Amino acid sequence: MAADEVAERPDREHRPSPIDSHVGSRVRLRRTLLGMSQEKLGEALGLTFQQVQKYERGVNRIGASRLFDLARVLDVPISFFFDDMPDSLGGNGGSGRRSFGFAETQEGFEDDTLHRRETLELVRAYYRITDASVRKRVFDLIKSLAPTE
């Protein structure tokens, strides 16, 4: 290990990596959108809610197998956790299209929109629709009502 790496190490141990913080915030976002508590997520993963809190804050790094488990429990592709990552952290970097879970790209989609109460209530109500064909029709209706650019 080089001397400059040793010098950097103490700081790194006390501050979460920006990438770990981003991934953790995406875990929190999806959990919240599903109306799931930290305790319920922890139970599904065999963790305590305190461990879930540390993941969500980026204090604890999420390993590959745990990320796989989170994607399964939260019903998202693994790429979801890296969506909307700032270019400065290795995000899109101008490489073109990114996957958002739908066929078309989501241009101009602000992360603040996802944190509004109205958005959370809408998503929770949407996922309470148990019939997949009805849910699809609601989705298509909402898309048809939105202005096209």
* pLDDT computed for residue 108 by the predictor: 40
Measure the CA–CA gap between 35 and 52, rounded to whole angstroms: 15
Query: What value, to the nearest 5°, has the Cα angle with vertex 43 and ends 38 and 48?
Result: 65
| pLDDT for position 2 | 52
**DSSP codes, 41-105:** HHHHHT--HHHHHHHHHTSSPPPHHHHHHHHHHHT--GGGGGTT--GGGTS-TT-S----SSSS-
Report the pLDDT value the prediction gives residue 90, as an integer from 0 to 100.
Answer: 64
Sorted by where each begins, the domain ranges of the chain are 3-105, 116-149
∠48-33-64 over CA atoms, to 5°? 50
Taking 70 as the pLDDT cut, the residues of the chain under it are 1-14, 90-115, 149
Query: Residues 84-97: pLDDT tens digits?
Result: 887 777 655 433 33
Cβ atoms < 10 Å from Cβ of 95: 8
Q: What is the dihedral of CA 83, 89, 95, 96, to 10 degrees?
A: 30
Task: Give the CA distances from residue 85 to residues 33, 34, 43, 148, in Å, rounded to whole numbers and listed in that order.
Answer: 19, 21, 28, 26
pLDDT value for 95 = 38
CATH T-level topology, domain 3-105: 434 Repressor (Amino-terminal Domain) (1.10.260)
Residue-level pLDDT at 49: 94
Tens digits of per-residue pLDDT, 52-67?
999 999 999 999 999 9
The model's pTM: 0.60
Predicted pLDDT at 149: 67
